[in-house]
Structure 1
Amino acid sequence: MNNLTTNRLTRYSKITLMAYLSFFGLLVMYSNIIDYSSNYEYVGHILSMDTTRENLNINYRAITSPMLHHRVYWFIITLEVIYTVCCLIGTYQLFKHRHASIDVFHEAKKLSIIGLLIAIFVYYVCMQVIGVEWFNMDESQVWNAKDWARHIVDFIVPLLIFLSLKIER
């Protein structure tokens, strides 16, 4: 414990937090692939806007094609795989360079940062911006993941800031 300095602890905390997000990504990937039909149904209801209140001004936004539902869902799964792989490899790179110089450790953050940015795209842009603002997901009593996505973004954004800062020595 005498070798555990604040600088070393800062590096380890960045590695640990990235490992947490990588584990989350693995669980989400597993769920979306193994339980494809349940999660596909979710995406289909959001895109179809069939569980939101009837609003003639925005009904044109609904996508009712099952083929497009599958494509959108596979796009989301693909992004989840990419961000998870980036986060996993990024976590490994951080761990591998945990005793390296400041500059080497800082450069080892690249894939982690890319993974976090893609995760923000999935959970903020896709779910909160497009899902809520375009498809009115927040009006659905059953198929609403607005709060779930917000909680994920509330973890990822501070992690991105913390990870990106070059504060360790």
Structure 2
Amino acid sequence: MNNLTTDKLIRYIKVTLMMYISFFGLLVMYSNFTDYASNYEYVAHVLSMDTTRDNLKLSYRAITSPMLHHRIYWLILTLEVTFTGFCLIGSYHLYRQLNGSAEDFHEAKKFSLIGLMIALFVYYICLQVIGVEWFNMDQSTVWNAKDWARHIVDFIFPLLIFIAVRIER
């Protein structure tokens, strides 16, 4: 432990946290690909707005086409694969630069930052903004992932800031 400086520990922590979010992404991908039907059903219900409170003024927002449900779900899957891939590659690049210069370690953050931004897009924009605010997902007692998405964003956003901040020497 005598060789472990605070700066080195911060680098290890950044790599470890990126591996955590990468592991999360892998589990989400596994779930979405191995249980396509259940996850598709969730997307279809949210887009159809068929389990939210009856509000005729907002019903024009519903998307009821199964073809569009599948396409939107595949867009979400693609974004999840992309964010996970970038986070995995970012973890690898950070790991490779653990003993590199401060400049090299900072430059190794690019893939991690891109992956985290894509993850924020999926869990904040797609689920919390569009799902909750446009499709009223929060009004459904069955198909509501608002709190789940919020917890993920509560991890991703501070992680994005922590990774981006240049505190290593």
Q: Give the TM-score normalised by structure 1.
A: 1.00
Distance 2:12 2:123 in 1: 26
Give the letter for the 1:98 counterpart.
L
Which residue of structure 1 aligns with residue 156 of structure 2? 156
Shift of 1:74: 0.2
Task: Show CA shifts across 1:91-139 (max 9, x none).
Answer: 0000001100000000000000000000000000000000000000000
Which residue of structure 2 aligns with residue 41 of structure 1? 41
Distance 2:35 2:92 in 1: 28
Which residue of structure 1 aligns with residue 71 of structure 2? 71
Which residue of structure 2 aligns with residue 94 of structure 1? 94
Distance 2:23 2:4 in 1: 25
* Secondary structure class of the residue paired with 1:125: helix
Which residue of structure 2 aligns with residue 132 of structure 1? 132
* Secondary structure class of the residue paired with 2:153: helix
* Secondary structure class of the residue paired with 1:56: coil
The runs of at least 4 consecutive aligned structure 1 residues that moved more than 6 Å come to: none
* Secondary structure class of the residue paired with 1:52: coil
* Secondary structure class of the residue paired with 1:2: coil
Instruction: Calculate percent identity across the aligned residue pairs.
Output: 72
Shift of 1:78: 0.1
Aligned pairs (5 A) from 1:40-59: 40-59=40-59
Which residue of structure 1 aligns with residue 167 of structure 2? 167
Which residue of structure 2 aligns with residue 113 of structure 1? 113
Shift of 1:79: 0.1
Distance 1:100 1:54 in 2: 58
RMSD in angstroms over aligned alpha carbons? Answer: 0.3
Distance 1:104 1:122 in 2: 29
Distance 2:83 2:98 in 1: 22
Shift of 1:141: 0.2
Distance 1:73 1:33 in 2: 11
Shift of 1:166: 0.4
State yes or no: 1:4 paired with 2:4.
yes
Q: Give the TM-score normalised by structure 2.
A: 1.00
Where does the alignment leave 5 or more consecutive residues of structure 2 unmatched? Answer: none
